[in-house]
Amino acid sequence: MSLDKATVRAIAELARIEVKDEELDHLAGELSNILTFVEQLSEVNTDGVAPMTSVADITAPMRADVVNDGGYPDKVLANAPEAAEGFFTVPKVVE
């Protein structure tokens, strides 16, 4: 599979990573090489094989639905690049 620049731009958009136009050619080449490498899997017969989602042979555990943590907004916000009045702040999203 060979990716073109438009596809790389679309992937970067989905991943929310800004990519400069002059990087697109190089990235398209790198990502295409990786996809070519992984495409060898198409030669493996996987008919009737169920996808393996986890190696741990356990069912998701249940717990009581109770509040057992919280009440320290200052601690939660301590690492925020910007916070105000007990909230995380973001650029204006509504005009």
Partner 1 sequence: MSKLTDLTMAEARDGLAKGAFTAVELTGAHIKATEAQRHLNAFIVETPDLALDAAKASDARRQAGNIGSMDGLPIGIKDLFCTEGVQTTAASHILEGFKPPYESTVSGKLKAAGAISLGKLNLDEFAMGSSNQTSYFGAVENPWKKKSDPKAKLVPGGSSGGSAAAVAARMVLGATGTDTGGSIRQPAAFCGITGIKPTYGRCSRFGIVAFASSLDQAGPMARTVRDCAIMLGAMAGYDPKDSTSVNMAVPDFERALTGDIRGLKVGIPKEYRPDGLSDEVARVWDQGIEWLKAAGATPVEISLPHTKYALATYYIIAPAECSSNLARYDGLRFGLRVPGKTLDDMYKKSRAAGFGAEVRRRILIGTYVLSAGYYDAYYAKAQKVRRLIAEDFRKAFETVDVILTPTAPSAAFGMGEGTDDPVTMWLNDVFTIPTSMAGLPGLSLPAGLSQDGLPLGLQLIGRPFDEETVFRVAGVMETAANFTAKPEGV
Distance CA 2, CA 31 (A): 8
Report in angstroms how near the CB of residue 37 gets to partner 1 at its nearest: 5
Report in angstroms how near the CB of residue 85 gets to partner 1 at its nearest: 16
Distance CA 55, CA 79 (A): 34
Report in angstroms how near the CB of residue 25 gets to partner 1 at its nearest: 14
Residues in the site for partner 1, rule: CB under 8 A?
A: 3, 8, 11-12, 14-19, 27, 30-31, 33-35, 37-42, 44, 46, 49-56, 58, 60-61, 63, 75-76, 78-82, 88, 90-91, 93
Which residue lies nearer to partner 1 by CB, 63 or 86?
A: 63
Q: Which one, of 9, 44, 46, 15, lies nearest residue 28 by Cα?
A: 9
Distance CA 5, CA 24 (A): 6
